[in-house]
A and B are shown apart, each in its own frame.
Chain A
Amino acid sequence: MNNKIYIIVGHYGSGKSEFSVNFSKYLLSKNLEVCLADLDIVNPYFRSREVREQLTKLGIVVISDTLNSTKGLDMPYLSPAIQGQIALSKKTIILDCGGDDVGIKVLKQFYHEIIKRDYEMLMIINTYRPQTSNVSQIIAMKDKLEAESGLKITGYINNSNFLRQTTIDDVMNANNIIIEVSKDTNIPIKYVSGIKKIIENLPIEAIGDRLMLDLLLRNDWL
């Protein structure tokens, strides 16, 4: 049986790559075979391919371009191996997309293969980003993402944060907004993600499975 495809989409800077690299490690810990495909051809910095070596050592297959780059490559193309993984492999696949509707244009080429498999398209939300700060903005972003990809969002991820300055209140205020979004769109909140001090202290009212994030893409000094 094929395993799931998780398509991680959302606004620029909402935390797609940081979530994806951590999520790949989480799925690996559930004894799944994991492939992480970095589809971001919009941004040249802070992409999941930067931790290729670290994840590969753990046994995660990381694919982006044919040169297996980590940093510095600013070329808008993807490795054909991504198509191969989606169509032929039985691995659990994470598609880490670029930001906004622009960033998921590249998904279209995989559309016919994706719909043959069990997939989840998860929209990651940081309500402290100025363009996804309230219910109507978030729903407008969701509509754009669905229209561009031709795929339906199946769940939300509350990744609202101010990096290391995040407080529990910040996450809970976001929780309230995303609950409204969830009700209005009839789509569940699947995950709530954050750094250790947040996840360990989240009250029960925070909706979604907890996913603890190590900031793998952000240096300790940054």
Chain B
Amino acid sequence: MAKVMMKGNEAMGLAAIKGGCRAFFGYPITPQNEIPEYLARVMPEYGGVFLQAESEVAAINMIYGASGAGVRSMTSSSSPGIALKQEGITYIAGAELPCVIINVMRGGPGLGGIQPSQADYKQVTRGGGNGDYYLLAFAPENLQETVNIVKEAFDLAEIYRNPVMIAVDGLIGQMMEPVDVDMEIPKREIPEKTWATTGTLGKRERNVVNSLYLDPQALENHSLKLKAKYDLMREKEQRYELVNVDHSEIVIVAYGTMARICRSAMEILNEKGINVGLLRPISIYPFPEKAFAELPSTVKGLLTCELSTGQMIDDVKIANNGKLPIGFFGRTGGMLPEPEEIVDAVIKMIGGMKNE
């Protein structure tokens, strides 16, 4: 397929199908409704199952079932709906089932609003439900990157036997952009699903999908096995983009739509003769700590920019390890800044550093 114009939510729906998704369970919520709407129409054409569940809780537990049977499955929702799914998500992580979850983030807390937000960062990157677990989580900034990551997510979920979350803000779900849904993604070796409950046919031992371990030693062993997977993700799956960081004085750390706004701010600043770069996390779990080691010695400060009151900044502090001063700029509740607001924040930060 050549390039077409698609809306983010539709493009994610089609990307899921191209990634092999054959079961979708979901419940409506703005601003992600076009994902289920699109898949309701298109999924049957590919012989897959689309089902609108009676609630978010039901949908995520249907994912547990479909995924347990080895089917590539996906659910999508927006912030309050994702909050509802957390119990199911921790069960899925505990039972080591692969699945893909799309969170088209809106303003919170509570019912919040319907405009774009990045205020679910901690929920996405710290597990969200109970227990020692993490989601492999990505936060792309444009539709081509989103489509590629959604497709890859189904492979990664099976390789790690772990849920993968794609966290985009509402604007990425709602905006139109040219996209090629058939762009090649990396070919990976996908392990056979020897664990799936596909029927024994009397030829093998029964497979059991479970997250209950009443023997504490068995549960500790299980948790250590999970931890080894997260360590492997941290080693192999960190993704990021460094833009214009050579010779830069300040590096902005931003992802998703905020990164797009920061790119414009960066251009304005560079025209003013202020050297500014961008460190853009693409994976948010694992957080791309390796990117910080690549920053040149010209960098004198980091400015974290988020569509929240400051959540990723904690990961930036951990990755920075006390080396550089860290500033913060954020808008929240569904408000998007103009690039000039970030320009001002950078100039203010430089001024503050000179006064110290």
Contacts and interface: CB of A to CB of B under 8 A. Distances in A.
Given A163-B176, A221-B339, A222-B260, A74 B5 contact: no
B4 A44 contact: no
A188 interface: no
Contact of B174 (A43, A219, A221): A43
Interface residues of B, number: 26
B84 interface: no
Interface in B167-219: 170-171, 174-178
Nearest to A18: B176
A133 interface: yes
A212 to B, nearest CB: 19
A130 B114 CA distance: 27
Q: Which of B30, B170, B178, B260 neighbours the largest number of chain A CB atoms within 10 Å of its CB?
A: B178
A13 B178 contact: no
Given A128-B4, A133-B4, A220-B264, A71 B334 contact: yes
Contacts, number: 60
A138 to B, nearest CB: 15
Nearest first, the 4 A-B pairs at minimum CB distance are: A45-B174, A221-B264, A162-B178, A128-B5
B261 A221 contact: yes
A46 B174 contact: yes
A96 to B, nearest CB: 16
B112 to A, nearest CB: 10
A128 B31 contact: no
Nearest to B267: A221
Contacts of A163: 5, 176-178
Nearest to A46: B174
A128 B3 CA distance: 8
B311 interface: no
A203 interface: no
B49 interface: no
A221 B31 contact: no
Given A72-B334, A221-B264, A222-B175, A44 B114 contact: yes
Contacts of B264: 220-221
A12 B176 CA distance: 10
B145 to A, nearest CB: 15
Interface string A42-82: 01111000000000000000000000000110100000000
A158 interface: no
A71 B30 CA distance: 13
B114 A72 contact: yes
A12 to B, nearest CB: 7
Contacts of A133: 4
Q: Which of B3, B4, B115, B261 neighbours the largest number of chain A CB atoms within 10 Å of its CB?
A: B4
Contacts of B30: 44, 74
A221 B34 CA distance: 24
A128 B178 CA distance: 9
Given A45-B171, A128-B4, A162-B5, A72 B176 contact: no
